Structure 1
Amino acid sequence: MTIQPDLQPAVQHDMVVIGAGFSGIAMTIAAKAAGRDVLVLEKADEIGGTWRDNRYPGVACDVESHLYSYSFELNPDWSRAYAPGDEIQDYLLYVVEQYDVRRHVQFGAAVQQAWFEEQTSRWEVAYSTPDGGLETVTCRDLVLAVGSLHVPTAPAIPGLDAFQGELMHTATWVPGTTATGKRVGVIGTGASAVQVIPELAADAAALTVFQRTPTWVMPKNDHEISEATSERYERRPALMKARRAKIRAANETRALGFVKQPALMKAVRLRAMHHLRSSVDDEELRAQLTPAYTLGCKRIPLSDNYLTALSRRNVKLATEPIIDAGPNGLVTADGVEHPLDLLVLATGFDPSAAWKSVNVFGAKHASLTQRWEEGIDSYYGVTVPDFPNMFMLLGPNAELGHTSVLLMMEAQVELVVKLLAERDRRGAKLVSVRPEVVPAHMAQIDERSADTVWQRGGCSSWYLDKGGRNRTLWPGTVAEFERRVRNPEWVDYEFTSR
């Protein structure tokens, strides 16, 4: 059932974009360039998405800086090979001002529901405001740029609510929090944990890492970018573009090991094992940190100091399951009580939660939330049958495990722009994917995913849905995805006036 607020007539826009992270900003810039009137609805009080919210110590990108940026706005001034989170957020703030995006953003606008009005062929979007009000806007085109690494997950530990110390998820880090002199616990050993643990270990009186599953870690080889190099890139942008192309080409080769030739991961595993042996002298600890699954089955964190941090005197690794929590800390299955002053949940995100929470209803009252619950089928992670003039960015099977996801996002933005231009050229009102082409597309995704390291690597990860199907990653190279979406087959889409 849709919300029908008793309001003044809704303000009309060509396009409404939900979310002001990397993808929402890119979509807004592209739509403005095409002469479209855009409104961006952002529930927070600032742009940035992931890089606005994640402020934990050590937060950084695991893709090299010169590739983790917009292709149309390269940055010669990155300070490091892998940019820290604050620097990425500053880059986004710069882009927003450079392209005059901010005046299109409505901050504090938490979308409650969106529905397609078949009589008018327009979308209605209802959102709450900071003062508790409910407003609505109407638009021709709706773009969901809500992000998949947005809603944090928490472990189901009995008694966790009773813990009286400081408790926070890495995605909701409280500014000013310090580990100095405290007994600290970290649950998780994924990408966020690999970044935050060395920072906490340097200050904590004692740090306990609660490891559910060990993770393969590769050396990061991070380094400062000299001022001379930045000045050279600024004077000669072609050099910076060449550096970007070199990083991209190197990263693309990883897709072969993930998707087509998993045997190639054996060589990468040898490098990871060498990194582990050279970082951890204790044989027992090294055994505890050695995964049993194939490298690449989970996302591969990069770090030069995570493994050495676990060898510090003030750090211990707890490998028994957590069975209980209380006011003073945690209890593991071996009966050991772990007193804590600060407990950090580095337990990742629910990749589908943000999409489900938008409450979008398409033609014939089709529910996007229900589609997600059933295992959503989409066309290149952008369009969904029965949702005309609605587009997703970084939707199903559009994330990456081997290189910068911004490449996928830019390709999808370009596809949206082309679909709208073709619709307008034909004098049509609506564009949507033909329902009959999606099953074959998804069957191909499933077939290609079946032999990937993600499904045959012997682990469970957030890449897979409850049924074990890959509904997160693109099972191929970015170059292949770009070839497919940058030359759309118009026959795969319906252009109609009603």
Structure 2
Amino acid sequence: MIAEPTNTGSMQDAAIDALDPVIALLALVQSTGDVSLLRKYGPALEGTQHQVKEAFVAFDTPLEPSAASLEVAREVRDLLRAAVRSGRPPVLATLDKPLFREMARLALGLEMPEMSIDVAYQHGGFTTDTRVRKPKRLPPADFKVLVVGAGMMGINAAVKLQQAGFDFQVIEKLDAVGGNWLENTYPGAAVDTPSRVYSFSFEPNASWTKYYPVGPEFLAYLERVTDRYKLRERITFNTTVEGAQWDEERKLWKVNALQDGNKVVFEGQALIMAVGPNNAPNYPDVAHLDTFAGPVIHSAAWDHSVDLEGKKVVLVGTGCSGVQVANAIADTVGELVIIQRQPEHIIPNPAAHDPVDELERWAMEHIPFVVQWKRLQSLASAMQDMHGMVMKDEEYAAKTGGFGPINDGIRMMCEAYLKSHFPDDPGMVALLTPSFPVFAKRPILDCGFYETLKKRNVSIVRGALAACDEKAVILADGTRIECDVLLLSTGYKLFFGRQFDIRGSGGRTLKQAFDPYPFSYEGMLIPGFPNFVFMGAPYSYLVANHAVVSEQQVHYAIELLQWMVDDGLSSVDVTESAARAFVEDVDANLAKTAWVQCGNAHGYYRDHSRKVILAVPRHNSRIWHDTRSPRTGDFTVTRRPEMGPAVEPEMAMLTI
């Protein structure tokens, strides 16, 4: 890292000199408005080292820059330096589609599919989420929206409801915002998605200290967004929702909750469930678990009062949270025994613990559009078609016995990475090698797990936890392991609202609607539950980049509510036929994926029946286009008895 200069001028010079020349050129073009600079310097910068590292930080393939590109980089940085020193605002604050496509191709080193251009422009943070429906009316005073949950999705919904002019109330069970990031305080808790992506496109953060931020830093980000938009006064804290009922006569939702020991009821014309599917810790069904004399701690409900210093600890689970816990506590405990039900594919991730360079952070904070182009590079995977990764290539499989060329390529990379850590230990390699393709369950970006396994006080055992006695855990094969503390990194129960008493039209419960298995329309709506948006519902997850999908779901919710306001509707309910058509399309494609083809892989995409109900095999860009605006023919509606006069369109236009 270059030493931090002692004054602003030298900091500016050093930051620009250290800036990826590709990013410097893109920022220069927007700053000056001189598009000819892109054509003059761009060709010499294609494929340069910084670009590849930033775009695919987990698959870094360093390239040596040519002498010509080094000279171009110097010229570009000098021009950017002059533009920044001028103090003038950027000339190109917005970009037309052809120019953005050209600039994005240089930023990513590849041509984006046509369907991804608008998606990249929005989620890169170059524009706020432009409304599709031009509002004809302002939301009436008696139209209130209830939001359950003040985590990432709930905060997103609150911001957009506020900007669209809706009256709303957020109901939160905890005493602060943050959701999972407030509850998950286990050692090593961190985001395994790049920080620039795991944040709101309308509120990019230029000041991340790590490429993959730890829990407290991400929680602080959510708190800043909450305060920036003055949302706290609209959030009712320490209030636990117990159920909700649709009042058919009054066309509103009644939400029953417990607040300070008292039962309270909230009423609203629409209800947005924003608690997410990973809401409740999953405690394994273990015989005599309550007889274990030592502490039993779930990673999602960490007990910080328990001192692990010098203790013999058994850790159950090697998913994302499990490996993070293992890395964090290995040097503290006396002995760590890790129980692995089945191995996971671990992807090399050299930036897992890296701090963001001080000069890079300065550039993002002070040079316009640097943070947006950096964000777009981190979004590269979300802009690509995942089918080649998760869909089985039958022709390829028949010829090679593999799954698909891209999937097999990633699997071989993971296996080579594993072998590089244990070159002289074939037994460990065999123990840690999955029997299923990559993405059959969520792969792990390495945060140092293999290195942790090399420590003298750490061991790993293949098996399933079956029972406990007073002093030990007992595996399914009868192996007994004594320990002082039992840690459970066993994930979450898929929520999907079944734990609440949610009743729609005719008093039908959500549990009844989800028999024999949960489903949804567009990952958000359930027939028979009018004016109800269930964010993170079945068939909503893309396995990765859910922060991107949740923004799209909030956008859709606002479009749906604005349609109700404009057309004077008191209720909108997706039809059973539309929902079933959506589910049939998803299920037909799911049948071709690693998630279904490899049913022996345990993963949180499945419910208790082993059916995949969370993940959806759809291109992120397709989801974006499909959720731009409701297809009104897919709904049954009722109208309000009276409507106020329409306002002038320009009076109703609010940025969202």
Question: TM-score, length-normalised on structure 2?
Answer: 0.72
Q: Does 1:135 align with 2:264?
A: yes
Give the residue type in structure 1 aligned to 2:460.
Answer: L
- State which of 255, 259, 266 in structure 1 corresponds to 2:386: 255
Q: How big is each residue's C-alpha offset from its partner over 1:261-291, in whole Å with a ceiling of 9 and x where there is no partner?
A: 5511100011111111112242212211111
Alpha-carbon distance between aligned partners in 2 of 1:372 and 1:479, rounded to the nearest angstrom: 28
Partner of 1:436: 577
Q: In the alignment, residue 230 of structure 1 is paired with which amino acid?
A: R
Shift of 1:153: 0.8
Bigger radius of gyration? 2
Residues 392/332 of structure 1: CA separation in 2 closer, same or farther (3 Å cut): closer
Q: Relative to 1, partners in 2 of residues 1:254 and 1:171: Cα closer, same or farther, differing over 3 Å?
A: farther
Gapped regions of structure 1 (runs ≥ 5): 1-11
User: How many correspondences in the alignment?
Assistant: 485
Map Cα deviations across residues 139-180 of structure 1 (whole Å, 9 max, x no partner). 111111111111111122211111111111000011254422
SS in structure 2 at match of 1:137: strand
Q: Which residue of 1 aligns with 2:510?
A: 368
- Whether the 8 Å CA contact 1:309–1:315 is kept in 2: the answer is yes
Deviates more, 1:446-455 or 1:260-269: 260-269
- Matched with 1:190 is 319
Q: Deviations over 1:386-436 (max 9, x none)?
A: 1111111111111121x3201111111111111111111111211121222
Aligned to 1:429, what secondary structure does the other structure show? strand
Q: Report the secondary structure of 1:378's partner residue.
A: coil
> Conserved in 2, the CA contact under 8 Å of 1:13 and 1:138?
no
Name which of 276, 282, 289 aligns with 1:160. 289
The residue number in structure 2 matching 1:421 is: 562
- Counterpart of 2:333, as a letter, is A
Aligned match for 1:23, one of 140, 153, 168: 153
Distance 1:391-1:112 versus aligned 2 partners, 3 A rule? same
Please list, as runs of the form range in 1=range in 2, the aligned pairs for 1:329-340 lying within 5 A after superposition.
Answer: 329-333=472-476, 335-340=478-483
Shift of 1:359: 1.4
- In the aligned structure 2, how far is the partner of 1:107 from the partner of 1:42? 5
Alignment-derived partner of residue 11 in structure 2:
none
- Give the residue type in structure 2 aligned to 1:126: N
How far is the alpha carbon of 1:365 from its aligned partner? Answer: 1.1
From 616, 619, 623, the counterpart of 1:477: 619
Residue in structure 2 matched with residue 236 of structure 1 by the alignment: 367
Report the CA distance shift for 1:289/1:64 in structure 2 as closer, same or farther (over 3 A): same
Query: Which residue does 1:450 correspond to in 2?
Result: 591
CA distance change for structure 1 residues 42 and 13 in 2, over 3 Å: closer, same or farther?
Answer: farther
Using the TM superposition, give the Cα deviation of residue 246 of structure 1 relative to its aligned residue in structure 2, in angstroms: 1.6
Counterpart among 111, 118, 130 of residue 248 in structure 2 = 118
**Residue 251 of structure 1: how far off its partner (Å):** 4.2
How far off is 1:322 after superposition?
A: 3.3
Q: Offset of 1:60 from its aligned partner?
A: 0.7
Q: CA deviation at 1:89?
A: 0.5
Cα displacement (A) at 1:45: 1.1
AA matched with 2:365: E
Provide the C-alpha distance between the structure 1 equivalents of 2:563 and 2:477, rounded to a whole number of angstroms. 64
Q: In structure 2, how many angstroms separate the alpha carbons of the residues matched to 1:39 and 1:53?
A: 22
Corresponding residue number in structure 2 for 1:4: none
Distance in 2 of aligned mates of 1:116 and 1:82: 41
Matched residue type, 2:361: S
Aligned to 1:495: 637
1-structure distance, mates of 2:615, 2:313 = 34
CA contact (8 A) 1:420 1:431 kept: no
Q: Which residue of 2 aligns with 1:86?
A: 216
Q: How far apart, in 2, do the equivalents of 1:452 and 1:323 lie?
A: 31
User: What is the aligned-residue identity percentage?
Assistant: 28
Q: Aligned-pair distance for 1:78? A: 0.6
1:328 aligns with 2:462: no
**Separation in structure 2 between the aligned mates of residue 244 and residue 152 of structure 1, nearest angstrom:** 32
Alignment of 1:52 with 2:182, yes or no, is yes
Alignment of 1:380-391 (within 5 A): 380-391=522-533
Residue 359 (1) aligns with residue 488 (2) = no
SS in 2 for 1:486: coil
Whole-Å separation in 1 of the counterparts to 2:519 and 2:480: 46
Deviations 1:207-264 (A, max 9, x none): 1001111111111222210121111111224121111112212344471311365511
